[in-house]
């Protein structure tokens, strides 16, 4: 049983994390950068644990050096994603990897990404939107230029602000300035929490960063009061089960709390996070949810409706996709 052709809405991907290893290898060869140690013998990405994953991720990013590299990246990613039935995708994009937070450079990188996204939309019928992302382990001060880039370029392509990276660096309140800046500019917000940090990290993220979506959020499942709050306040979780299994945030598919959260009334959605890193695709996520928990077309229709409602795009785009 495969759900490859089922139409899918995906809210949680990292643009560089979607780069096929062969694409990054090609850029490395063009630029004569030796990053051979980040690849396995059979051509995948090689990492031992989450911290090492972040290092390998950043090493791969050193090959992405120009707006044109990002234009090619968006094309390669959307070709692959559209093949798995994804009709709408949101992706985290980081000014840190696109000119280091310089606003003029950021405009150029964005224009290149948007050009590729528009081309893919016309060719493949997939719509891409970007969420500007601060990188937590670069520290609170480094997230400020990212938030400024978000505030200055909010519009047709950039639709939100968020934070990814090492969740155990600092506490949510340390990052409030950036989230306040983005919120005051009118951007909807999401933040990685509860991938590693447990229920208290999710609770503090809601209190201090006032986000409407949480990246992962699975740590919340251990706190019944917090689960109730997520359900009541309709805080949407961007759940990435294959990523959690691969990085050993959970012990296996059967132990994943997505069903427990959903059954408690929490709005859950399903995404891939960084598909080639974690040997997953949206098809694989759906197929494994079917195999492990018996999810079928009506379950997937429900999570896609939740995802579309929670998407940060404007209502005209939402209606076009529905």
3-state secondary structure of 118: helix
Residues interacting with Zn ion, by CB under 5 A? 273
Alpha-carbon distances of 150 from 15, 39, 59, 90, 130, rounded to whole Å: 16, 32, 24, 15, 10
Paired sense of beta strands 213-216 and 86-93, if any = unpaired
Q: Does 319 participate in catalysis according to the annotation? A: no
| Among 8, 114, 183, 192, contact with ligand ADE (rule: CB under 6 A) | 192
Cβ–Cβ < 8 Å for 86, 9 = yes
d(CA 166, CA 169): 6
Instruction: State the residue number with the nearest CB to ligand ADE.
Output: 164
Catalytic residue, from 195, 238, 284, 285: name it. 195
Nearer to ligand ADE, 7 or 166 (CB): 166
Residue 165: contacted member of Zn ion, ligand ADE, none (CB under 5 to 8 Å, by partner type):
ligand ADE
CB of 133 to ligand ADE, least distance (A): 8
CB of 197 to ligand ADE, least distance (A): 11
Cβ–Cβ < 8 Å for 18, 276 = yes
CB of 222 to Zn ion, least distance (A): 20
Q: What are the backbone dihedrals phi and psi of residue 160, each rounded to the nearest 5 degrees, phi first?
A: -165, 175
Q: CA 39 from chain center: how many Å?
A: 22
Residue 183 touches ligand ADE, criterion: CB under 6 A: no
* E strand map for 118-221: 127-135, 158-164, 190-193, 213-216
Nearer to ligand ADE, 243 or 306 (CB): 243
Residue 241: contacted member of ligand ADE, Zn ion, none (CB under 5 to 8 Å, by partner type):
none
Nearer to ligand ADE, 153 or 243 (CB): 243
Residue 195 touches ligand ADE, criterion: CB under 6 A: yes
Q: What is the side-by-side order of every strand in the sheet holding 236-239?
A: 190-193, 213-216, 236-239, 268-270
CB of 12 to Zn ion, least distance (A): 6
Cβ–Cβ < 8 Å for 258, 268 = yes
CB of 215 to ligand ADE, least distance (A): 7
Residue 243 touches ligand ADE, criterion: CB under 6 A: yes
DSSP state of 130: E
Nearer to ligand ADE, 40 or 55 (CB): 55
Query: Residue 4 belongs to what H/E stretch?
Result: none
Residue 146 touches ligand ADE, criterion: CB under 6 A: no
Residue 17: contacted member of Zn ion, ligand ADE, none (CB under 5 to 8 Å, by partner type):
ligand ADE
User: Contact residues for ligand ADE (CB under 6 A)?
Assistant: 14, 17, 57, 164-165, 192, 195, 243, 273-274
């Amino acid at each position: 049983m495969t759900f490859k052709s089922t139409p899918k809405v995906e809210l949680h991907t990292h643009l560089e994390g979607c780069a096929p290893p062969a694409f990054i290898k090609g850029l490395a060869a063009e630029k004569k950068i030796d990053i051979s140690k980040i690849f396995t013998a059979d051509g995948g990405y090689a990492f031992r644990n989450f911290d090492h994953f972040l290092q390998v991720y950043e090493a791969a990013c050193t090959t992405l050096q120009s707006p044109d590299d990002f234009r090619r990246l968006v094309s390669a990613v959307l070709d692959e994603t559209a093949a798995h039935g994804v009709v709408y995708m949101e992706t985290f994009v980081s000014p840190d990897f696109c000119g280091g937070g310089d606003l003029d450079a950021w405009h150029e990188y964005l224009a290149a990404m948007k050009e590729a996204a528009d081309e893919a939309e016309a060719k493949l019928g997939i719509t891409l939107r970007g969420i500007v992302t601060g990188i937590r382990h670069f520290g609170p001060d480094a997230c400020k230029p990212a938030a400024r880039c978000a505030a200055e370029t909010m519009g047709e392509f950039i639709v939100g602000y968020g934070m990814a990276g090492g969740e155990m660096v600092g506490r949510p309140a340390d990052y409030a300035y950036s989230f306040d800046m983005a919120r005051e500019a009118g951007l909807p917000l999401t933040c990685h929490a509860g991938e590693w940090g447990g229920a208290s990290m999710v609770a503090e993220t809601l209190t201090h960063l006032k986000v409407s979506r949480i990246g992962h959020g699975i740590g919340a499942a251990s706190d019944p009061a917090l689960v109730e709050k997520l359900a009541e306040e309709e805080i949407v979780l961007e759940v990435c089960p294959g990523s959690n299994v691969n990085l050993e945030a959970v012990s296996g598919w059967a132990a994943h709390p997505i069903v427990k959260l959903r059954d408690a009334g929490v709005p859950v959605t399903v995404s891939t996070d960084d598909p080639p890193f974690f040997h997953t695709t949206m098809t694989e996520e759906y197929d494994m949810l079917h195999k492990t928990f018996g999810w079928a077309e009506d379950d997937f229709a429900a999570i896609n409706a939740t995802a579309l409602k929670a998407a940060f795009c404007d209502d005209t785009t939402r209606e076009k996709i529905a």
